[in-house]
Amino acid sequence: MDKNKRKAYIINTIAIIFLYLVFFILIQTKVMNKYFMGIAIMTCIMIIMAMSLNIVAGFLGEMALGHAGFMAIGAYSSAYFSIALMDTGFPLPNIIVLILAMFVGGIVTGIMGFLIGTPTLRLRGDYLGIVTIGFSEIIRIFFINFEPTGGAAGLKGITKLVNFNNVYWITIVIIILIFTFGRSKQGRAIISIREDEIASEAAGIPTTRYKVLAFTVSSFFAGIGGALYAHYQAFVEPSKFGFMFSIEMFVIVVLGGLGSLTGSIVAAIILTALPEMLRGFAEYRLLVYSLALIVMMIFRPQGMLGRSEFSLTKFIDSLILRKDIKNSIDGGETR
């Protein structure tokens, strides 16, 4: 097992560095221009958002339709913080400012998630979904009316701190963190609540505490995603974080497979990058997208990967041993 683990770590590290080098060469040779770089950055942010939503929607199995609201809190609080920090004129390197802003965004959003989650997680299913929609809309209306952050016109004057280089590594770190969380004692407790709440309670798991924990962790990472978004766009406005944006993120998670983090990554890449590439078909884009959603639900309701994770190690093994590739997609192992 230990040997396998070490092998998996080595393979994944090589893959991550290789992928980075590919991007690095593409950028250096100007094959990847500013436009494609923008898409790549947005994709990274959506990967973080989808994975963080997957903690509540997939691991905990609750319907959370208000992720855009948490992203808004992260975006606004981190932007407000970085503007204030820049104003003091204290000479800090950009990357430190970005990391500090991310932590501020994540922690403020995490606290909000805790405050919202504690009373609402008594509700289940549809009702929880409605309440999360309600909170997300209240957050949006709050920012429309809140003058210190620019009100409906939005918050301007944020320094653009995010570029492809740093967002790539930040995304990798967050992917690793969320994976580790999913495998940890806490993560497994949360999954057990999804499987059978009563049984896990009987097994001595304090279900309410773990539900709130899942909600808080999920909103913490959503806040980080929001912080990255704010420092990439250099501008945030409340209208971006509407009901439809929450739905969009939820759809990514569902299409990737509820409970499958690699599924979320794949779906986030497909649903963010592909529509941008197909700008020419812009008119039919959303039509096809919604149709795909309906067809997917009727014929493959568990999403692309279901609950299993795609494992690079197993994939390579199956290539070498010429086994059926299907084996590489059954779950539970290291990525």
Partner 1 sequence: MDLFLQQLINGLNVGSIYALIAIGYTMVYGIIKLINFAHGEIMMFGAYFAFIFATSFGMPIWAVILVPMIIMALAGVAVEFIAYRPLRDAPRLSALITAIGVSLFLQNLALLIFKADPKVMPKLFPETIINLGGVEISSTTLVTIGLSLFFMVLLDLYIRKTKQGRAVRAVSEDKDAAILMGINVDRTISLTFAMGSALGALGGILYSVAYVQVFPTMGVMPGLKAFIAAVLGGIGIIPGAMLGGFIIGMVETMTKAYLSTTWADAIVYIILILVLLFKPTGILGKNTREKV
Token reading at 136: 């997300």
Task: Decide whether 23 or 142 has the Cβ nearer to partner 1.
Answer: 142
Nearest to 325 by CA among 334, 309, 314: 314
Among 243, 273, 308, 334, binds partner 1 (CB under 8 A): 243
Nearer to partner 1, 129 or 263 (CB): 129
d(CA 159, CA 93): 12
Give yes or no for residue 63 binding partner 1 (CB under 8 A). Answer: yes
Helix and strand numbers, DSSP H then E, in the chain: 13, 0
> Residues 183-222 vs partner 1: string with x where CB under 8 A?
---------------x------------------------
Interface with partner 1, residue 130, by CB under 8 A: yes
* 122 near partner 1, rule: CB under 8 A: yes
| 150 SS3 class | coil
How far apart CA 107 and CA 112 sit, in angstroms, is 9
| Cα gap 101→11, rounded to integer Å | 32
- Site stretch for partner 1 (CB under 8 A), options 88-96, 101-109, 141-149, 310-318: 141-149
48 within 8 A of 218, measured Cβ to Cβ: no
- 141 scored as a contact of partner 1 (CB under 8 A): yes
SS3 call for 303: coil
Q: How far is the CB of 316 from partner 1 (least distance, A)?
A: 33
Amino acid 278 reads L
By CB under 8 A, residue 290 contacts partner 1:
yes
d(CA 108, CA 111): 5
Give the nearest distance from C-beta 62 to partner 1 in angstroms.
Answer: 10
Which residues bind to partner 1, rule: CB under 8 A?
A: 63, 119-120, 122-123, 125-127, 129-131, 133-135, 137-138, 141-142, 144-145, 198, 243-244, 247, 250-251, 254, 258, 283-284, 286-287, 289-291, 293-294, 297-298, 301
